[in-house]
Each structure stands twice: as C-alpha cells, then as structure tokens.
Amino acid sequence: MKRFKALTTGHTVLMGRKTFESLPKGALPNRRNVVLTRSRKKFEGTEVFASMETALKHCEADEEVFVIGGSSVYNEALPLANRLYLTEVDDVPEKADTYFPEYDKKDWHETLRESFPADADNERPYSFVTLERIR
Ligand SMILES: NC(=O)c1ccc[n+]([C@@H]2O[C@H](COP(=O)([O-])OP(=O)(O)OC[C@H]3O[C@@H](n4cnc5c(N)ncnc54)[C@H](OP(=O)(O)O)[C@@H]3O)[C@@H](O)[C@H]2O)c1
C-alpha cells in the first residue's frame, strides 16, 4: 500500500465501480479519481464515465493514468497499457475469487525487481516489479 500511494499520488487513478465501493474512505486523496460504471450513479470526489474509451479520452492530458482494478477493468485496460507495476506476493490464497489477467511475458521487459523478505508489516516475502511493454 505504501508503494501504491507513492506511485499514484498526484496522478489519475481509474477504477471500476466495485473497486471504488471497496475503498474504506471513498475517493483516494490527492489523486484524480475516475470511476467506470454503466449506471447513472455519481460518487463524491470522483468523475464517472460509462466506458473505458470515454474515460481515457478525458484523461489524455494526464501524464500517467493508473488503472487500479478490479479484475474486469484490468482485463479491458491490459491491451492498452504501456507499463505494469506489480507486487508479487509469495502466496496461494485458497479463497481468491478475483484475479489480475494473464499476460504474456514475452511482450514485456522487466525494468525493476526489488525483493523483500517477510517483515513486521508483511507476513510473506514480496517483490516490486515494473514491466515495460516491448514495442
Ligand atoms: N488487490 C488489488 O490490487 C485489487 C485492486 C482492485 C480491486 N481489488 C478487488 O477487486 C474486487 C472488484 O473487482 P471486480 O472485477 O469485481 O469489479 P471492478 O472491476 O472494480 O468493477 C466492476 C464494475 O465496474 C463497472 N465497469 C467495468 N468496466 C466498465 C466499462 N468498460 N464501462 C463502464 N463501466 C464499467 C461496472 O459497474 P456497474 O455495475 O456499476 O455498471 C462493473 O460492474 C474488489 O473486491 C476489490 O477489493 C483488488
């Protein structure tokens, strides 16, 4: 979460309606919050769009747009993405029901990998990984 905050603060975060509703305190502070929904609902502190295409059109001037989930939005945005910021966690949760999409490693070049052991805040080893799309 510290890395997520450091990367996204000052930028645009784009998310699905369910991910927005899972945020404990609503819109993320100090970021432009963009939410996708096909309903006509409004959410405080956000801009709402009914399609990925429209949302991205309104973000064209933004330096970097961070797609922050959930699964359906990751699926739709992956073919458009130039960079992936992943956190790999050495775990196989038994009850997972929402997944990041499969991606083809040969399309991506790893530019960063920082690995950390379990610590007081993280009960399992983890790695920060950045991948750039190979053009
Ligand atoms: N660990 C992580 O990194 C991470 C990150 C993000 C989310 N999550 C978890 O993932 C779960 C949510 O993921 P999810 O896949 O179920 O839902 P989601 O992608 O967050 O939201 C799905 C909803 O977004 C709207 N939507 C999606 N694509 C759209 C499009 N192209 N145009 C317009 N609206 C669109 C629809 O809302 P309407 O139904 O309102 O039309 C759809 O039902 C939550 O449990 C969240 O905590 C985890």
What are the residue ranges of CATH 3.40.430.10 in the chain?
1-81
CA nearest to 54, candidates 28, 36, 74, 75:
36
Query: What Cα–Cα distance (Å) separates residue 128 from each residue in 15, 16, 27, 84?
Result: 21, 23, 25, 11
CATH 3.40.50.620 is right for the domain spanning 1-81 = no
8 A C-beta contact, residue 108 and residue 133: yes
Is the CB of 30 within 6 Å of ligand 1? no
> Is 69's C-beta closer than 6 angstroms to any atom of ligand 1?
yes
Ligand 1 touching residue 39 (CB < 6 A): yes
pTM above 0.85, yes or no: yes
The pLDDT assigned to 92 comes to 86
Ligand 1 atom showing the smallest separation from residue 36 Cα: 34
- For 64-117, write each residue's pLDDT tens digit: 999 999 999 999 999 999 999 999 998 988 998 899 999 999 999 999 999 999
Distance (angstroms) between ligand 1 centre and the Cα of 14 equals 10
